[in-house]
Structure 1
Amino acid sequence: MATVVISLLGTVLDQKGRGNNRWDKWRPNVAVCMHPELSIDRFEMILHPKYTRMGQKVAEDINEVSPNTVVNIHKVSWEDPWDFEQVYGALHDFANSYTFDRENDEYYIHITTGTHVAQICLYLLTEAHYFPGKLLQTSPSPSAGAKGQYHIIDLDLSKYDQIAQRFRHEQLTGEQLLKSGISTHNAQFNKLINQLEQVAIRSSAPILLTGPTGAGKSQLARQIYTLKKQRGQVKGEFVAVNCATLHGDNAMSTLFGHKKGAFTGALQTRLGLLKTAHDGLLFLDEIGELGLDEQAMLLKSIEEKTFYPMGSDQPIQSNFQLIAGTNQNLHKAVLEGKFREDLLARINLWSYELPGLRERIEDLEPNLEYELQQFAKQHGSLVTFNSDAKQLFLNFALSPAALWKANFRDLNACVLRMATLAPGGRITENIVQEEILRLKKAWQSPTPLLDKRIRTLQQFLSKETLEEIDLFDQQQLLYVIEVCLSTKNLAEAGRKLFNVSRMQKKTTNDSHRLRTYLGKYNLSFEQLHSSSVS
């Protein structure tokens, strides 16, 4: 790896001495390049434009003592070198604009030169990973002459608990990023984000995000990536996939890739998402939907950072961080044999449950403003409520009548509808009233699962008959019908339905018991099968 030093020009110490006399003086930036054991390939010198000529002379002297060192001069401006905000801002901008190559370069941040304010700023930016390197400190030494001595400091935040308090401003910036800039009020959610911000920066271990559909798991995962990218924690891509869309060979191929000819239809080699996420972040939403085979390969990939694409005997390496999302109870899935216990243990180190919108209803109004801002960005058109319309909407949105079943997805959808229909960019009371009716109607409709069950019963019973049966009896009848449809004859269905009580009777006639039960609803086993086929 190449050794790279990033340093400020020392406007006092670096110009000590005149003519040949300067070689007898300790000059920090020249001296650091005089140590044979610290071979410096590149020297990135930061200076104010008015000291450019001085910087060029120092660069020439560096080349004289270390001919193989390439010196690059970077001009960075601030009006007052003792103004913390100006200096920090200028160095922060430099760090964001500089292209760091951590795979091929090893960085040392020289904090000996510059004002004390500049040195403090370099320290803070290095600790916060804006400069991804170690600190380099030099000092004069009577026994070492002009080259002096140096010390390398590898920062470990855990050793500096008191100093870490000074970074609260940076932490708040990170928290706001994770919240997409939304000023949330819910204390539990804010506490969750506060800890997650620390974990995102300090850990590369898997993170598990749980919570209901629409609670914001996908958006939070992307914001975690943005924060880590901003802090130099990752340099690869953000790769996301909903595991509910992956099945069979497609699941294996999508995640782990395949070799050409690995299966029918594999016409060319495919890298897979794990490889695409190398040095980046992989978000697996609805991870509970993954098959057991995929779960086993994923576990190996997390632990060993290697995996085998389908049809290949050559391992692939990928250094990715995993964020998993789910609205399922994975512990229950483990008991049911649907999810691997060892995989859950591996991804459950950092687990955060995101509350739904109803659980943090005090955050609805700031999220409403956020959605309007997003609409303006995407459509180039500013949309606002008139005062009465906004109050009408909030009165409904905060009331028990607003169910917000899909959580923030419902809020996003209703803002999109109202903003699209707003004449002249103003959402009126009429638009709000129409949207309230639309939401109420949507929330009153059956859930997809219940809707499917009702359709099953309607296949065999008239609407009038169904309305006369209690919901409890409907569910029992539905189960009986499903068992009948899954069996070949009346006796087999009876054995399944009465497998416990039949053992307590002296004589068993399961077929008769089932026929009698179905008869209560004017149904028969044969009728169920014939109606199902037709």
Structure 2
Amino acid sequence: MKKTILLVEDNEKFRRLTRLTLQKEGYDVIEAETGKNAEKHMKSENIDLVLLDFLLPDTTGLKLLEKWAPTFPDTVFIPCTAYGDIEDAVKAMKMGAYDYLTKPIKADELKVVIKRAFEMKHLKKENKELKQAVQQKYDLHGMIGKSPKMQEVYSLIERVAKQDITILLEGESGTGKSRGAYAVHLESTRKLGPFIKVNCAAIPSNLLESELFGYEKGAFTGAVRSQEGKCAAADKGTLFLDEIGEISLDVQAKLLQFTQDKTFTPLGTAREISSDVRIIAATNRNLSEMVQNGEFREDLYYRLNIIGIKLPPLRERIEDIPLLVEQFLAQFEEEHTRSYSISKSLLTKLTSYPWPGNIRELQNALSRATVLSRSGQLILDDFPEEIQNHFSEKEVGTPEAPIELTDDFSLPEHLEKVEKEVIETALTSENGNQARAAEALGITRQGLLYKIRKHKILRKK
């Protein structure tokens, strides 16, 4: 498909010569001698590249560029000037111009610059498509992860979501069980129906039954009107029972009936109601152990655990931490309307932190850091005290003995020894991943491989 170039130039002779040169190269060329005419073409045509004169009869190229660059992000802009004004050229580049040309423009120079501009445009398009493909692969309805364990979770969710069966999500607190439940809902045939969440740990045991099954007016003191329960509200959708391990044995018995035949009886009535729902339960406790201890009904456990999905703790999927950091920073940038950045060295530290509170702790830590950051460049001091102390203790450690400058001391040998130890530490912290170790050390992978061979560092299997 031919590329379309808009040539905005008031000099008729220059416009004609430039048009002929570009047409010989196979481009479609649209001409405009004023800013007003150029505006019409930008709105009505699909323009790939604009050659823009700095001085026009009714406006300037800089004014047009300032207006067009944000509006047409996929269009390449190349301003032209007869004066070689570097200041204007710098302004144009800051506004989003790919390059600039100084008149008189040589045909070869024009062809080369435009060819490179289209190559750059094509590369940007490929990168965008690749990024979207990667994001689609690593992102399942807000669940982020490229680690093998998370890819297994995604695969299992996609396989079982469309089958209308009960699912039990297990994992430590903060591992993303709620997001996992919602991902199952969105992947299921019930995605257009309601998604009703009940946090069983947040509702007192004596109120949970009425919360789930509803009640009739006068069922108990204070019941001044009838109230629909969550089971009825979730009809044709998904009922998510979070922290299922916290419910009492009495409520478990009534919930068992609902899981079996999808019927329940509201408090204060003998009328049985049916509700077409898909149940997803989640827990951070060991339900199997609770069954052994008589704390959880065995029959209910097997009804809920038809398909079990275990969400790994963050310490077992550290390669996902940079992706999660990127996701949360993007979220906070939108909320706070400011930009944030994080250095590679700090990101490496965050990756090595154990995160006992998992994703929730990471999100809260970044929330605090973004609020406290003065410049938008996050530093360790912006993070919670327990994270700062973790790295302070590691860095302080045991004081090193002072170096003794004996007669046989050799500075080159000492530096070689230190270099070897630092490389071994980086490789260990990155689980032998040479690319990430090289990035943490601030050197190329080829440079790291050279030093590994030089110091005869054994690769861990």
Q: Shorter-chain TM-score: which interval?
A: 0.5 to 0.7
Counterpart of 1:336 in structure 2 is: 293
Counterpart of 1:435 in structure 2 is: 383
1:434 Cα offset (Å): 3.8
SS at match of 1:245: coil
Change (3 A) 1:419 1:352: same
Asked if structure 1 preserves the Cα contact closer than 8 Å seen for 2:368 and 2:384, the reply is no
Distance 2:345 2:384 in 1: 10
Change (3 A) 1:410 1:187: same
Q: 320, 324, 336: which is aligned to 1:367?
A: 324
Asked if structure 2 preserves the Cα contact closer than 8 Å seen for 1:234 and 1:279, the reply is no
Change (3 A) 1:374 1:316: same
Distance 1:233 1:270 in 2: 24
- Aligned amino acid, residue 194 of structure 1: S
- Aligned amino acid, residue 277 of structure 1: A
Counterpart of 1:419 in structure 2 is: 370
Distance 1:238 1:338 in 2: 28
Change (3 A) 1:176 1:362: closer
Alignment coverage as a number of residue pairs: 260
Change (3 A) 1:315 1:210: same
Q: 253, 267, 270: which is aligned to 1:296?
A: 253
Distance 1:213 1:310 in 2: 32
SS at match of 2:173: coil
Asked if structure 1 preserves the Cα contact closer than 8 Å seen for 2:190 and 2:238, the reply is no
The reply on whether 1:403 has 2:319 as its aligned counterpart is: no
1:441 Cα offset (Å): 5.2
Q: 194, 201, 207: which is aligned to 2:167?
A: 207
Q: 196, 203, 217: which is aligned to 2:157?
A: 196
Change (3 A) 1:329 1:435: same
Q: 138, 142, 160: which is aligned to 1:180?
A: 142
Deviations 1:308-348 (A, max 9, x none): 00111111111111110101110111111111100111111
Distance 2:137 2:259 in 1: 27
Change (3 A) 1:189 1:416: same
Counterpart of 1:257 in structure 2 is: 214
Counterpart of 1:277 in structure 2 is: 234
Distance 1:199 1:291 in 2: 29
Structure 2 residues without counterparts, runs of 5 or longer: 1-132, 393-461
SS at match of 1:355: coil
SS at match of 1:423: coil
1:220 Cα offset (Å): 1.4
- Aligned amino acid, residue 199 of structure 1: V
- Aligned amino acid, residue 262 of structure 1: A
Asked if structure 2 preserves the Cα contact closer than 8 Å seen for 1:287 and 1:325, the reply is yes
Asked if structure 2 preserves the Cα contact closer than 8 Å seen for 1:292 and 1:338, the reply is yes
The reply on whether 1:381 has 2:337 as its aligned counterpart is: yes
Distance 1:374 1:271 in 2: 35
Where do residues 39-58 of structure 1 align in structure 2 (5 Å cutoff)?
none
Counterpart of 2:347 in structure 1 is: 394
Asked if structure 1 preserves the Cα contact closer than 8 Å seen for 2:252 and 2:297, the reply is yes
SS at match of 1:244: coil
Distance 1:362 1:204 in 2: 33
Deviations 1:460-500 (A, max 9, x none): xxxxxxxxxxxxxxxxxxxxxxxxxxxxxxxxxxxxxxxxx
CA RMSD of aligned residues (A): 2.5
Counterpart of 1:99 in structure 2 is: none
Structure 1 residues without counterparts, runs of 5 or longer: 1-170, 445-534
Change (3 A) 1:373 1:276: same
Distance 1:172 1:221 in 2: 22
- Aligned amino acid, residue 410 of structure 1: E
Change (3 A) 1:224 1:174: farther
Change (3 A) 1:421 1:403: same
Asked if structure 2 preserves the Cα contact closer than 8 Å seen for 1:280 and 1:321, the reply is yes
Distance 2:244 2:136 in 1: 26
1:381 Cα offset (Å): 1.5
Asked if structure 1 preserves the Cα contact closer than 8 Å seen for 2:147 and 2:319, the reply is yes
SS at match of 2:241: strand
1:190 Cα offset (Å): 0.5
Counterpart of 2:186 in structure 1 is: 226
Distance 1:350 1:172 in 2: 28
Deviations 1:11-38 (A, max 9, x none): xxxxxxxxxxxxxxxxxxxxxxxxxxxx
Counterpart of 1:160 in structure 2 is: none
1:297 Cα offset (Å): 1.1
Asked if structure 1 preserves the Cα contact closer than 8 Å seen for 2:370 and 2:378, the reply is no
Deviations 1:285-320 (A, max 9, x none): 110101111111111112111100011111111111
SS at match of 1:351: strand
Asked if structure 2 preserves the Cα contact closer than 8 Å seen for 1:418 and 1:427, the reply is no
Change (3 A) 1:433 1:423: closer
TM-score normalised by structure 2 residue count:
0.53
Distance 1:292 1:442 in 2: 41
- Aligned amino acid, residue 149 of structure 2: Q
The reply on whether 1:287 has 2:247 as its aligned counterpart is: no
1:440 Cα offset (Å): 4.5
Change (3 A) 1:180 1:219: same
SS at match of 1:314: coil
TM-score normalised by structure 1 residue count:
0.46
Distance 1:258 1:191 in 2: 41
Counterpart of 1:267 in structure 2 is: 224
Asked if structure 1 preserves the Cα contact closer than 8 Å seen for 2:370 and 2:382, the reply is no
Distance 1:381 1:173 in 2: 23
Distance 2:378 2:363 in 1: 18
